[in-house]
Amino acid sequence: YCLNVIYSKETTSTQTILENHFENVSQGILYVADIQRQGIGRSGNWVSNNGCLMFSFKFECSAKIALPVQMMLPLGIVGAIEKIAADKGIEIPSLKAKWPNDVYLNEKKLSGILVNSKSNGKLMQMTIGIGINISNKSPFINLNEVYPNIFSKGEVLKEFISEFSSLVNDTENPGWEKRLTDQYKAKWLHYMKVATLSRDNKPCTIIDINHEGTIIARDQTGTFHKIQARDDIIFS
């Protein structure tokens, strides 16, 4: 697997550039920048100053693993940061995946993921954009303020690619669905926690997730609810 990496000191948005200027490339390209003038988040802009690891890459996969891939992204970020920390003898128990696609540290947002996808027959073509607050002043939290001088942008990027690729490659081995959900549950911020169903304001306990990211929650009467969309639930 060959990955061409483009780097800019400053750009508009790695995401918009890959989407608009590399429409015909479906794989094998990653664009990383130190500063974005128009960084985009899922709602509004993404604070994109130097010290934030910001990159986008093209990724093509079979449509049947498109949803699982969305769980592998936060897990890849968590895994990368944990690996670098573990090599230095540090554990980070408060590093968690927040469903559907953020990473939290000490219950504050550390990283956000943006996925634009289009389907092409049995294939799904995605542009995946990731921002991870390494040492920048962020509205939320950065790694360096909690663990000074441990993490560099380059190393986190390299380990992310390696972690994410192993998760994707594992889908070729039988039993990957359970391995994925087990790993997700082990790192999931809201696993076994109480949240509120938006449709009727009912409190419920988050008890399970499947490999496509559908949550199962149980309300106080014992009824099970499926949660598929971000707007179905309020995590407080």
56 binds ligand BTN (CB under 6 A): yes
**Using CB under 6 A, which residues numbered 106 to 125 contact ligand BTN?**
112-114
Site string for ligand BTN, 87-106 (x = CB under 6 A): ---------------x----
Supply φ then ψ for residue 29, to 5 degrees: -135, 135
Which of 29, 34, 39, 96: binder of ligand BTN (CB under 6 A)? Answer: 39
**Using CB under 6 A, which residues numbered 5 to 24 contact ligand BTN?**
13-15
Number of residues that bind ligand BTN (CB under 6 A): 19
74 binds ligand BTN (CB under 6 A): no
Token duo for residue 103: 């990473």
Which of 68, 76, 79, 131: binder of ligand BTN (CB under 6 A)? Answer: 131
130 binds ligand BTN (CB under 6 A): yes
36 binds ligand BTN (CB under 6 A): yes
Of 10, 25, 11, 214, the C-alpha closest to 127 is 25
Cα–Cα dist 84/147, whole Å: 12
- DSSP 3-state percent helix, strand, coil across the chain (nearest 5): 30, 35, 35
Token duo for residue 130: 């990731």
Which of 41, 152, 205, 208: binder of ligand BTN (CB under 6 A)? Answer: 41
Which of 8, 28, 42, 196: binder of ligand BTN (CB under 6 A)? Answer: 42
Cα–Cα dist 20/13, whole Å: 11
**Number of helices and strands in the chain (H, E):** 5, 12
Contact status, residue 182 vs residue 168, Cβ threshold 8 Å: no
In whole angstroms, the minimum distance from the beta carbon of 198 to ligand BTN comes to 20
181 binds ligand BTN (CB under 6 A): no
- DSSP bridge pairs for 125: 60, 118
How far separated are the first and last CA of the chain, in Å rounded? 41
Cα–Cα dist 193/195, whole Å: 7
In whole angstroms, the minimum distance from the beta carbon of 15 to ligand BTN comes to 4
In whole angstroms, the minimum distance from the beta carbon of 56 to ligand BTN comes to 5
By CB under 6 A, name the binding residues for ligand BTN: 13-15, 36, 39-42, 46, 54-56, 102, 112-114, 129-131
